[in-house]
Amino acid sequence: MPATTVLSDIKIADMTTAMFGPYCTQTLADMGADVIKIEPPMGDMMRYGGKPAKTKGMGGMHMTINRGKRSVALDQKTDLGKEATRRIIESSDIFIHNVRDSGIKRLNLTFEEAKEIKKDIVYVHCTGFSSEGPYAGRPAFDDIIQNLSGMTSLIPRLEGNDQPRCLPMMIVDKVAALHAVYAVLAALRERDNTGEAVFVEVPMFECATHFLMEDHFDGAVFEPAVDEFGFKRSFDNTLQPMKTQDGWIMIAPYSDKRWVKAFEVVGASAELEDEQLNDRKKRFFNSSYMHKRIESYFITNTTEHWVNALSEAQIPASQANTMEDLQNDPHLKATNFFQKREHPSEGDYWEIQPPVMFHNLSKEEIRPAPLIGQDTESVLIELGLAPDENNG
Amino acid sequence: MPGSSVLSNIKIADMTSVLFGPYCTQTLADMGAEVVKIESVAGDIIRHIGISRNTPQMGSMHLTINRGKRSVNWDQKTELGKEATRRLIEASDVFIHNIRPDALARLGLTFEDVKAIKKDIVYVHCLGFGPDGEYSGRPAYDDLIQGLSGMTSLSPRVDGSGVPRFIPMAIADKVAGLHAVHATLAAILERNQTGAAVHVEVPMLECVTNFVLEDHLCDGTLEPSCGEMGYERQLDPTRQPMKTKDGYIILAPYTDDRWLVAFNLVGGAHELDDERMVDWATRRKNRTHMQDRMQVYIERETSAYWLKLFNENDIPVAPVHELEDLQNDPHLRGSNFFQRREHPSEGAYWEMQPPVRFNGAPDREIRPAARLGENTDEVLKELGLEPPK
């Protein structure tokens, strides 16, 4: 029973697709919000990412990203589709979408039009670029924004070559989604205070750049700059996980006292007699060299041995997990992070627990990811509309 | 005028330090919340990371991360300090901290303690690991969480090296920080409804692992799995920016019909006669080959040439920016993303606009990052206490 009911009386009309918007609405559903996912008849394209076990359109990514939501498949070109969408918005607190401006105008669902349907609607536009700048309205994808925001300049700086490389995950989509979650909640509070509609824009480009620059602005924040862009520690190629007998380990002593102790724990105290490491100041200035000297000692024993030995000496250390290791990580197992669930049509699957923990609030099972249009009929009936052969 | 006021009248007593918690409270302050940053007498260590200009405890990271907040640093070991903290909590909606669980009882700041001070407090605990697990109570750092969450296993999957490497930014701290923002707001909504105190925990490991797996759990979701974990597209080493005559661009047609248009535009329509690219199915199967062929053409012209051509034809394309290029990006300039501000003691600096916009233009200035204890006296007076001489 992993999900809280903290947002249980919030209703969301969700016309988002792919990763950005849906990860946002999944997070809200995980907190108890009632989300109706309005999909085109073929369904959200994300359903086809990753192999399904049984049903086409129920791929692995969809099973995670679209859990907790009801699915209504509507053809926006038909009268029923238009009327049903209108009524869903009317009965919702939030209308969230990632449709480009030209498209939303064609659907007659701009902010002004949504306000006519519900005068205090919280209208959230998940977009690529803010409407204030010249790229407004352009299509945006994770790799495009990674490159525009400077994210692809990080790995080359780390490795000292000049070939830009994308970060290996849909980082822009996911970061923008997290911004959208708080944006929705802040806007709800504003609506509660004023009784009026709120228009929120969550632009991927600005979210990604802002996120990147929190630490990487560094000395260039001053004008004129007192240092280069880039948080130096991130670009130190020598401060990386270290090889053990059976895997990889990271240690984070941080203070000089703990570094000295770490050398002691691994049996490397003799190294600290080195000219470059024999006092605190030298160790601080030669930290990369210091890291290099301790590195070779870890290969003599297992990761578990070192993690235990260092933890006992109060030195933070842990193993580098591969994704496959995660389900066997002792902490994640004990906290039931991966729950095995049974999907009504797709069989067994793993459900990641929502990470934020609200104590002492009632909990509910998370609704498994829906088939396309699984809830069309029941929702239409709720809205006082009769399903026809084409819709539900 | 880059901050909005959607959260005005929310008062936050902020005892977080370094990056995770402060990024959360910065985001809340950017939306208008009133944040009082309770620092140790020596100050948040982040003040000393990154070079400062005029004042040693005003380092560059602090200037960004701790904007929007007032700073107090009364001594928590004195009677005055304890009373001031108590009164500040009493006058706040939210108490947020990143104190280790085993120190809370000693400091008298457990949830129960704080609830006794303010019965409907929103209590947000930023910590390394969720409770009841093997690592619960341990200190957590970005590196360790990156490793534990599987984040460091991603780069080696791309280059096939098998050597785990950190994502080159404080990504674990920042992702957890963003989770704490929505956690706080959801808890406030709950408190408004029930009138009761709310206790929230935001554990870095669980937040970051969830974040990694949103796309990457992928074929490992179903049990038994239908394939491997890892969303292929993001781990594909060939899906990278392309070299032009004078730099790099990212070309992302995505849909099949846009790829056809792209080949036409570069003068490579005949490439599609190749049996590996003759129809939708073969093109999908031979994506790497298709990209390799496109690269041959892209190398022949400048980045500016391709950006203009592809933009005109609605094919997604973008320049590859270095960090130094960002302030000259036409869009970020047009949307006034970097604002030049004047800090009262540190001189001119750049302030990033909060990325989320509420109702169009934001309507107030963001308070510049405070000097250590800059607001101690004024806050003590607000709480009805006499500042020490």
The complex scores an ipTM of 0.88
A142, A223, A356 member nearest B179 (Cβ)? A356
Which of B247, B373, B379 is CA-nearest to residue B302?
A: B247
Contact A164 B218 (CB under 8 A): no
Contact B323 A135 (CB under 8 A): no
Residue A1 pLDDT > 50, yes or no? no
- Which amino acid type is present at position B219? D
What percent of chain B clears pLDDT 90, i.e. is strictly above it? 59
Residue B1 pLDDT > 70, yes or no? no
HSE-up of residue A34 (Cα within 13 Å, Cβ side): 11
The alpha helices in chain A, defined as continuous H runs, are 20-30, 60-65, 79-90, 101-106, 111-117, 142-148, 154-159, 171-194, 204-216, 256-265, 280-285, 287-295, 303-312, 330-334, 376-382
Q: Which candidate in A143, A249, A319, A328 is best for mutational testing of the B interface (most B CBs within 10 A)?
A: A143
Biggest CA-to-CA distance, chain A: 84
> According to the model, what pLDDT value does residue A361 have?
76
Mean pLDDT to the nearest integer, B264-273: 94
Count, in order, helices (H) and strands (E) of chain B.
16, 12
Residue A389 pLDDT > 70, yes or no? no
Residue B236 pLDDT > 90, yes or no? no
HSE-up of residue B188 (Cα within 13 Å, Cβ side): 26
Residue A74 pLDDT > 80, yes or no? yes
This prediction has a pTM of 0.90
Strands A242-243 and A248-251: antiparallel
Q: Is the peptide bond before B224 cis (omega within 30 degrees of 0)?
A: yes
Contact B218 A130 (CB under 8 A): no
- Please write the tens of the pLDDT for every residue from B117-145: 999 999 999 999 988 788 888 888 898 99
| Count of Cβ atoms closer than 10 Å to residue B289 Cβ | 16
User: By CA distance, what is A254's nearest residue in B?
Assistant: B141
- Please write the tens of the pLDDT for every residue from A216-268: 988 888 888 888 888 888 888 888 899 999 999 999 888 899 999 999 999 99
Mean pLDDT to the nearest integer, A56-68: 89
> According to the model, what pLDDT value does residue A40 have?
93
Q: Is the peptide bond before A224 cis (omega within 30 degrees of 0)?
A: yes
**Dihedral sign (CA B67, B72, B75, B78):** negative
- Please write the tens of the pLDDT for every residue from A131-180: 888 888 888 889 899 999 999 999 988 888 888 889 999 999 999 999 99
Which chain A residues have a beta carbon less than 8 Å from that of B201? 356-357, 359
**Dihedral sign (CA B282, B283, B285, B286):** positive
Contact B133 A335 (CB under 8 A): yes
B19, B212, B334 member nearest A169 (Cβ)? B212
CA distance B144 to A319: 8
CA distance A271 to A262: 12
Q: Are B282 and B275 in contact (CB under 8 A)?
A: yes
Can you tell me whether residue A13 is helix, strand or coil?
strand
Residues B303, B308, B313: CA angle, nearest 5 degrees? 125
Q: Are A25 and A12 in contact (CB under 8 A)?
A: yes
Strands B198-203 and A357-358: antiparallel
Which of A146, A188, A192 is CA-nearest to residue A169?
A: A146
Mean pLDDT to the nearest integer, B143-154: 90
Q: What are the two backbone dihedrals, phi and then psi, of residue A213, each rounded to the nearest 5 degrees?
A: -85, -5
- Please write the tens of the pLDDT for every residue from B48-61: 988 888 899 999 99
Mean pLDDT to the nearest integer, B201-215: 92
Contact B166 A186 (CB under 8 A): no
CA distance B366 to A244: 48
Can you tell me whether residue A221 is helix, strand or coil?
helix
All residues at 6 or more sequence positions from B304 whose CB lies less than 8 Å from its CB, including other chains: none
A64, A216, A254 member nearest B169 (Cβ)? A216
Mean pLDDT to the nearest integer, A21-26: 97
A216, A316, A355 member nearest B141 (Cβ)? A316
Residue environment code for B68-103, b if the CB has 16+ CB neighbours within 10 A, otherwise e: bbbbbbbebeeeebeebbbbbbeebbbbbbbbebee
Beta bridge partners of A73: A39
Contact B352 A181 (CB under 8 A): no
User: By CA distance, what is B318's nearest residue in A?
Assistant: A144
The alpha helices in A43-170, defined as continuous H runs, are 60-65, 79-90, 101-106, 111-117, 142-148, 154-159
Contact B355 A31 (CB under 8 A): no
User: By CA distance, what is B189's nearest residue in A?
Assistant: A189
Mean pLDDT, chain A, as a whole number? Answer: 90
> According to the model, what pLDDT value does residue A357 have?
85
Which chain B residues have a beta carbon less than 8 Å from that of A152? 241, 250, 320-321
User: By CA distance, what is A242's nearest residue in B?
Assistant: B164
Strands A198-203 and B357-358: antiparallel
- Please write the tens of the pLDDT for every residue from B330-376: 988 888 888 898 999 988 988 888 888 887 666 778 888 898 999 99
User: By CA distance, what is A197's nearest residue in B?
Assistant: B359
Looking at CA atoms only, how far is residue A155 from chain B in angstroms?
7
Which of A88, A185, A180, A232 is CA-nearest to residue B186?
A: A185
> According to the model, what pLDDT value does residue A43 have?
92
> According to the model, what pLDDT value does residue B2 have?
63
Structure tokens given for B253: 């047609």
User: By CA distance, what is B61's nearest residue in A?
Assistant: A218
> According to the model, what pLDDT value does residue B179 have?
96
Which of B220, B215, B210, B255 is CA-nearest to residue B235?
A: B215
Looking at CA atoms only, how far is residue A195 from chain B in angstroms?
13
Q: Are A367 and A3 in contact (CB under 8 A)?
A: no
Q: Are A133 and A51 in contact (CB under 8 A)?
A: no
CA distance A45 to A60: 13
Which chain A residues have a beta carbon less than 8 Å from that of B224? 348
Can you tell me whether residue B321 is helix, strand or coil?
coil
- Which amino acid type is present at position B8? S
Mean pLDDT to the nearest integer, B369-384: 91
Mean pLDDT to the nearest integer, B14-39: 95
Q: Are A354 and A67 in contact (CB under 8 A)?
A: no
User: By CA distance, what is B155's nearest residue in A?
Assistant: A168
Contact B60 A254 (CB under 8 A): no
Contact B217 A49 (CB under 8 A): no
Q: Greater confidence, B176 or A326?
A: B176
> According to the model, what pLDDT value does residue A390 have?
53
Q: Are A203 and A128 in contact (CB under 8 A)?
A: yes
Looking at CA atoms only, how far is residue A226 from chain B in angstroms?
7
Residue A53 pLDDT > 80, yes or no? no
Contact B215 A19 (CB under 8 A): yes
- Which amino acid type is present at position B261? V
User: By CA distance, what is A334's nearest residue in B?
Assistant: B133
Q: Are B120 and B196 in contact (CB under 8 A)?
A: yes
B185, B250, B348 member nearest A182 (Cβ)? B185
CA distances from B140 to A318, B68, B172 (A): 10, 26, 10
Which chain B residues have a beta carbon less than 8 Å from that of A142? 234
CA distance A381 to B346: 63
> According to the model, what pLDDT value does residue A366 have?
85
Mean pLDDT to the nearest integer, B36-42: 95
Which of A338, A59, A337, A326 is CA-nearest to residue B233?
A: A59
In Å, how far from its chain's centre is CA B64?
12
> According to the model, what pLDDT value does residue B354 have?
86
Looking at CA atoms only, how far is residue A389 from chain B in angstroms?
31
B155, B250, B330 member nearest A134 (Cβ)? B330
* Residues of chain B by 3-state class (helix, strand, coil), percent to 5: 45, 15, 40
CA distance B300 to B297: 6
What percent of chain A clears pLDDT 90, i.e. is strictly above it? 56
CA distance A127 to A137: 8
